[in-house]
Structure 1
Amino acid sequence: MARREIPNLIVCGTPGTGKTSLAHKLASQSGLKHIDLSKYAVEHNLVDGWDEVLNCAVLDEDKVVDHLESCLPDGGYILDYHGCDFFPQELIDTVVVLRTENSVLYDRLKARGYPEAKISNNMECEIFQTILDEARESYEEDIIMELSSNTPEEQDANAEKLVSWIADWKNDKLKK
Structure 2
Amino acid sequence: METRSRTAPNILVTGTPGVGKSTLCEKLSEATGLKWLEILKIAKENNCLEEYDPVYKCCTLDEDKLLDGLEEVMSAGGNIVDYHSCEPFPERWFDIVFVLQTDNTTLYDRLIGRGYEGIKLADNIDCEIFQIVFQEAKSSYKSNIVHRLSNISEEELENNLQRIYGWLQQWFYENQLP
Q: How would you bin the TM-score normalised by the shorter chain?
A: over 0.9
Structure 2 counterparts to residues 1-176 of structure 1, below 5 A = 1-2=2-3, 3-174=5-176
8 Å contact kept, 1:6–1:76: yes
Structure 2 unaligned residues grouped into runs of 5+: none
The separation in 1 between residues aligned to 2:101 and 2:168, in whole angstroms, is 21
Q: CA deviation at 1:57?
A: 2.1
Q: CA deviation at 1:175?
A: 7.0
Residue-by-residue CA offset, 1:43-85 (whole Å, 9 max, x unaligned): 1101122221111221111211110001111100001010012
Local SS of the residue matching 1:29: helix
The separation in 1 between residues aligned to 2:46 and 2:177, in whole angstroms, is 38
8 Å contact kept, 1:38–1:57: no
8 Å contact kept, 1:98–1:148: yes
Local SS of the residue matching 1:95: strand
Q: CA deviation at 1:42?
A: 0.8
Paired residue type of 2:129: I
TM-score, with structure 2 as normaliser = 0.94
Count of residue correspondences = 176
The separation in 1 between residues aligned to 2:154 and 2:115, in whole angstroms, is 21
Paired residue type of 1:91: W
Q: CA deviation at 1:116?
A: 2.6
Paired residue type of 2:41: K
Same amino acid, percent of matched pairs: 41
8 Å contact kept, 1:42–1:57: no
TM-score, with structure 1 as normaliser = 0.95
